[in-house]
Amino acid sequence: MKKFLLLFISAALLALVACGNGEEKNNDATANETEDATNETTNEEANEEKGTIVFGQTPWSSTAPPTQIAKQILEEQGYEIEVQHVSQPIIWDGMSNQEIDFFMDAWLPYTEAPRWEKFQDELVKVATSYENAELGWAVPSYVEEDTIEELKANADKYDGEIVTISEGAGIVEISTEMFEGENFEENGFKLSPSSEGAMISVVQSKIDNEEPVVFTPWRPHSIFARNDLKFLEGQDEYFQADNVYVLSYDGIEEAHPEAYEILSNWSISIAELEAMILENEENGTSFEDLATEWIEDNRDKVDQMLGK
For the chain, the structural domain boundaries read 51-133+242-305, 138-231
Q: Which strands make up the sheet holding 138-140, listed edge to edge?
A: 190-192, 161-163, 214-215, 138-140, 229-231
CA–CA gap between residue 214 and residue 182 (Å, rounded): 15
- pLDDT tens digits, 46-80: 446 789 999 999 998 899 999 999 999 999 999 99
Instruction: Tell whether the model's pLDDT for residue 99 goes beyond 60.
Output: yes
Q: Do domains 51-133+242-305 and 138-231 have the same CATH topology?
A: yes
pLDDT at 33: 55
Instruction: Tell whether the model's pLDDT for residue 41 goes beyond 70.
Output: no
**What percentage of the chain exceeds 90 in pLDDT?**
81
CATH of domain 138-231: 3.40.190.100
Distance of CA 254 to the CA centre of its chain: 24
- CA of 199: how far to CAs of 133, 215, 221, in Å? 19, 8, 13
How much is the pTM? 0.76
- pLDDT tens digits, 264-294: 999 999 999 999 999 999 999 999 999 999 9
Which overall architecture, per CATH, does domain 51-133+242-305 show? 3-Layer(aba) Sandwich (3.40)
Maximum average pLDDT range among 7-21, 33-47, 51-65 = 51-65
